[in-house]
Structure 1
Amino acid sequence: MTAALARTVVLDAAEWRSRRAAHERRVDEWLVPHLARRGSGTRHPVQDFLFTYYSHRPAQLRRWHPGAGVLLRDADPAEFGRDYRAEAAGRTLDTEAVLGRRGDSVDWIRTLLTRTAGRPGQFGCFGMHEWAMVYRQTQAEVRHNAWPLRLSPEQTARVVEDNRIRCSHFDAYRFFTAPARPLNLLAPSREAQHDNEQPGCLHANMDLYKWAYKLSPLVPSELVGDAFALAREIRALDMRASPYDLAALGYPPVRVETPEGRAEYAAAQRGFAERAAPLRTRLLAALAATEPSNTTEPDNAAERR
């Protein structure tokens, strides 16, 4: 006998199909332009980043899941994959089986989210991680070499050298150029990620999308979509504050090489941290819904209405 989850929400067919259709419409607004650019061989350093840097494929983002502890009435087994099991009234996620395969990964993510949420945010990095990624490189060597740098290579290097780099995020730090790494106050590593991650970091908040899709199908797809939407906005600030000149794409620079630009960046960074905090809380709450309970009474959403 399997342990019952903390609660079971029952969705009738009309309700879950409506939610699925709404999710697909929302995601299509992001996917259609990306797939068109991909088909034409056009690259966009801001809007395509979440599809090229992260491993979640467009079709996976579009596919809807209700999350753990939800029973879908009259669901066709062919519409859902191996992670779902049949019940008398429909289909539900086989949470125990998913955790059996991926429990270690889920625990790692839960620990990271919990520790990050428990720390104060730091807002003094001023986006120097993007500058460290092009430090002492030529235009041909930089990652987005189809787009010019706003300053000369020497001026760019001076910005890096005149500002204390304090990047706490390993997945940003690992893209630093070799000469830039010793300039960072920290030496982040994957092993120390639980100890270094902090909620003011743009990349830590962008990565809420990664943790959401890695937890799928245990978390609702609407939550994955919310994390994706926030990550898109964060990426825009990340690149506006970078050394690249993307004004032609509609992204005016945040000139972090100036006091005014640094103040603008820090204010925006605080705003994103405030918006990311509820998403982190929702991810942890969704994980709590996978924990067993002593009760087996279903929570029938239709009957509550």
Structure 2
Amino acid sequence: MVVTTATSAKAQPANPDGKSSLAGKPAFATHYRTVDIDGVSIFYREAGAPGAPVVLLLPGWPSSSAMFRDLIRELSANFHVFAPDYPGFGNSDIPDRSHAPYTFDALGEVIGKFVDKVGIDQYVLYATDFGGLVGYRVMLKTPHRMRALVAQNNPLFLGASPWFGPLVPYWKDGTDESREKVRQHYLTLDVIRDLYLTGVQDTSMIDPEQWQIDYSSLQRPGAADISLDLLYDIRTNGPALKSAQDYLRAQKPPTLVVSGKNDILFPTESQLRYREVVPAAEIHLTDSGHCALADKSEEIARRMHDFLGRVL
């Protein structure tokens, strides 16, 4: 697996604080970069040595690449890690909705162009939440470039969950009234905090800044409506998921599922369904919730080092 980028011609030095990764090697420094994609500035985090196997980290809603801060450090000793922010999220530009529709198809196009622009040839896809809906589109557009899949609290099949209940009327009628009800329910500090805390055994392990940052990002001009557009677009993902299932079933890439088993969105049953498509998938469910990286990043990193060390 090879990557060449214009911004990373040389191996970057290890972190100056001397921290080591779980792999027992010094962790590389994380670099914070931007790249222009069709006139939109896309922010991304990058760490690790060029030439090492690439791991592409795609975040979920309503977060950004910030959710991967710890995981990037843990992976950087052995892998070249990229974690972009979608348009409208994190530190990427927020193009006006009148000129740039916010759909999963559109995000997939942007991330596909990002992969090409930074020079990624092949990659391991780490997908969580929205990251799967985006990443599967990238996978399908450029077959055989994904060398392995790591799914963390990421759906592969459509399923019912009480968490999505308030979205159902909006999906059915798309009216301004339904949209406003979704805004008042989902774009609140309580709902975002619950994504982090529900199903977590020891909530004192969760840094409150994580949900506070996510909530604050939604207060930026235009950001809330972008989230509402994408929450509405969830209803269109049946065909994309079916295509992803067919591709994974045919290609059987090495697949690791490392999810919180107490997820209020995609519970244990949802995660076990990966074996319907990739029978040899390795599944490790940890005692956490939807945002399992928030309290189980070391465990997840350890699983990834073991798995990727065997399959790449």
* TM-score scaled by length of structure 1: 0.22
Higher helix share: 1
Q: Greater relative contact order (Cα 8 A, min sep 6): structure 1 or 2?
A: 1
Structure holding more strand per residue = 2
Name the larger-Rg structure.
1
Given the two structures, how large is their TM-score scaled by the length of structure 2?
A: 0.22
